């Protein structure tokens, strides 16, 4: 009985902490403006990429060598994005007005991946310039 | 003995912990976040000790089983120290940090006693089951303390981004462990997957700390309301 109670409370707390943690990642990323170069590479017309671009940006970020320890951030928002997928489907049946909120959340996840891509491109450019400066 | 997957997981988690420690030290977090450094050092020491016990006694030995759970309890106690320091950071201006520390220590001792009596009084269980129950209960108490801390931060409109991310990642970690222990104790005590699952989720905390210290500066600020309701 106590074990079941611990399990139920832990699952609810995990969901809440995880969603809030992802919100904090999104909020931190939103303060970082995307460069023109990244928008061009990812074929994004607006400075705030739509949630439909998520998979494309994720693939591009995977192609780019990692900079620092940003893999966990991408994994966390990917999990959150996927968690929102079934919720969106459910909302479109039960409460269509809520789909706008879900889409904006997914847009936030897309922005985090876009920022990761941007940082990776910038980091790799610096590395490349350092190598060319060394005579490679 | 360990298989190639076990070795790979052990090595990856060990390297993540080590790089996270280096990252914290490079960002000069030693004095300000001493308990985080202490936790990572303890975690590294436990990883090495577990590896050497597996090599000498084997993965399925009783020695490894007991060492695993007792070292896990020690790490959870270190996690309590981290939580206490986070409480001290949040309540630093109110001057109540000492009362909170005393309360947390009492809670820690109380949890250990309650876990012991719960196991000792049930005749159908071995007293040695105490270690497994204790781990589950300690993580659950850690979860309650983290939840209370996050609630206080939201109420006090705490806006230090780094502190917020550390507390939230801690919340994810303790709830993941408490839930997983409860699930394994209740329904799947002999599931082979746990062997890979628990070491893998242990990497969450050092990874998230490394990210926070690398990407978020000490001066960064963020409104709590933005995190709680970002689209309003």
Q: What is the ipTM of this complex?
A: 0.84
Percent of chain B with pLDDT over 70: 90
Q: B169: phi > 0 → left, psi -120 to 50 → alpha, else beta; which?
A: alpha
pLDDT < 70: residue spans in chain A: 46-49, 51, 67-69, 133-136
Of the partner residues A10, A26, A72, the one whose CB lies closest to the CB of residue B207 = A72
Of the partner residues B143, B186, B222, the one whose CB lies closest to the CB of residue A27 = B222
A85 CA: distance to closest CA in chain B (Å): 18
Identify which has the larger pLDDT, B16 or B224: B16
Q: How confident is the prediction for chain B on average, in pLDDT? A: 83
pLDDT tops 80 at residue B97: no
| pLDDT tens string B98-119 | 777 787 778 777 777 776 676 6
pTM: 0.85
B148 CA: distance to closest CA in chain A (Å): 11
A7/B179 CB distance under 8 A: yes
A72 CA: distance to closest CA in chain B (Å): 6
Confidence band for B48, pLDDT divided at 50, 70 and 90: very high
| Angstrom distance (rounded) from CA A19 to CA B225 | 14
- Answer yes or no: are the C-beta atoms of B173 and B146 closer than 8 Å: no
According to DSSP, the residues that pair with B160 across neighbouring strands are B221
**Of the listed ranges A9-13, A126-130, B28-32, B223-227, the one predicted with least confidence:** B223-227
The per-residue DSSP string of B116-131 comes to HHHHHH-TTS-GGGHH
| Angstrom distance (rounded) from CA B46 to CA B39 | 10
Closest to B159 (Cα-Cα) out of B230, B97, B220, B89:
B220
Q: Which residues of B141-171 are buried (b: 16+ CB within 10 A; e: fewer)?
A: bbbebbbebbebbeeeebbbbbbbbbbbbbb
Size of chain A, expressed as the number of residues it contains: 136
- Answer yes or no: are the C-beta atoms of B41 and B106 closer than 8 Å: no
Q: With an 8 Å Cβ cutoff, is A4 touching chain B?
A: yes
Closest to A23 (Cα-Cα) out of A123, A107, A116:
A107
Q: With an 8 Å Cβ cutoff, is B112 touching chain A?
A: no
| Angstrom distance (rounded) from CA A22 to CA A70 | 14
Residue B231: per-residue pLDDT: 57
Q: With an 8 Å Cβ cutoff, is B114 touching chain A?
A: no
Residues of A within 8 A of B20 (CB-CB) are 69
């Amino acid at each position: 009985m106590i074990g079941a109670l611990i399990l139920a409370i832990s699952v609810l707390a995990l969901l809440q902490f995880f969603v809030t943690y992802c919100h904090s990642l999104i909020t931190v990323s939103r303060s970082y403006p995307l460069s023109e170069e990244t928008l061009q590479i990812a074929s994004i017309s607006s400075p705030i990429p739509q949630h439909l671009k998520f998979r494309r940006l994720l693939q591009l970020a995977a192609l780019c060598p990692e900079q620092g320890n940003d893999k966990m951030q991408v994994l966390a928002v990917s999990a959150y994005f996927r968690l929102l997928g079934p919720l969106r489907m459910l909302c479109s049946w039960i409460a269509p007005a809520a789909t706008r909120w879900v889409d904006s959340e997914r847009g936030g996840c897309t922005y985090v991946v876009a920022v990761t891509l941007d940082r990776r491109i910038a980091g790799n450019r610096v590395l490349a310039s350092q190598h060319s400066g060394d005579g490679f | 003995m360990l298989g190639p997957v076990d070795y790979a997981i052990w090595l990856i988690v060990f390297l993540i912990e080590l790089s996270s420690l280096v990252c914290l030290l490079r960002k000069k977090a030693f004095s300000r976040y001493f308990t985080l450094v202490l936790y990572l050092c303890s975690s590294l020491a436990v990883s090495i000790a577990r590896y050497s016990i597996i090599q000498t006694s084997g993965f399925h030995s009783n020695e490894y089983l007991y060492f695993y759970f007792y070292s896990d309890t020690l790490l959870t106690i270190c996690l309590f120290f981290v939580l206490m320091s986070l409480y001290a950071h949040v309540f630093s201006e109110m001057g109540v940090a000492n009362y909170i520390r005393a309360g947390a220590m009492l809670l820690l001792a109380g949890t250990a006693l309650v876990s012991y009596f719960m196991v000792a009084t049930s005749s159908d269980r071995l007293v040695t089951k105490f270690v497994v129950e204790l781990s589950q209960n300690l993580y659950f108490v850690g979860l309650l303390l983290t939840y209370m801390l996050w609630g206080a931060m939201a109420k006090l409109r705490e806006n230090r981004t780094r502190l917020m991310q550390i507390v939230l990642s801690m919340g994810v970690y303790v709830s993941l462990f408490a839930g997983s222990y409860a699930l394994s104790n209740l329904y799947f005590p002999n599931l082979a997957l746990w062997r890979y699952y628990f070491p893998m989720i242990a990497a969450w905390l050092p990874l998230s700390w490394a990210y926070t210290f690398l990407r978020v500066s000490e001066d960064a600020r963020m409104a709590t309301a933005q995190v709680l309701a970002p689209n309003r």
